[in-house]
Amino acid sequence: MIGRLNHVAIAVPDLDAAAALYRDTLGAKVGAPQDEPDHGVTVIFIELPNTKIELLHPLGEDSPINGFLAKNPSGGIHHICYEVDDIIAARDKLKASGARVLGTGEPKIGAHGKPVLFLHPKDFTGTLVELEQV
């Protein structure tokens, strides 16, 4: 069902400092910040030859990233994203097998402009999983 790894998302307390670290220290190609109000985050994508790193920073007081950073003040890995061909078929198969889809269960448009869903971390060995339709 799942395809390639699309990205690893890292929540960061300082978006500019994290972007500079990847750009200046690691020599990575760093994209521009983009606000994603539907998800309560500002993101920057780091382009790697085989995948991406998504830096996440809270956008507003209600951001889900605020709680994560309160528990992890230095930041850390927030979720991993896998590609799927058909997000609705993937959702239905996962739900039928007992996996919990977060939110309403309906896909939202993610930072790449494609439908995404999140799966409960307790169902995936403590890892928040994002599925993105390609």
What letter does residue 109 receive in the DSSP assignment? E
DSSP string across 14-83: -HHHHHHIIIIIS--EE---EEETTTTEEEEEEE-SS-EEEEEEE-STT-HHHHHHHH-TT-EEEEEEEE
CB atoms within 10 A of CB 124: 15
The catalytic position among 47, 54, 83, 130 is 130
DSSP tag of 127:
-
- Return d(Cα 78, Cα 19) in angstroms, integer: 16
State both tokens at 48.
Answer: 């790697």
Is 61 one of the annotated active-site residues of the chain? no
Which residues are identified as catalytic? 130
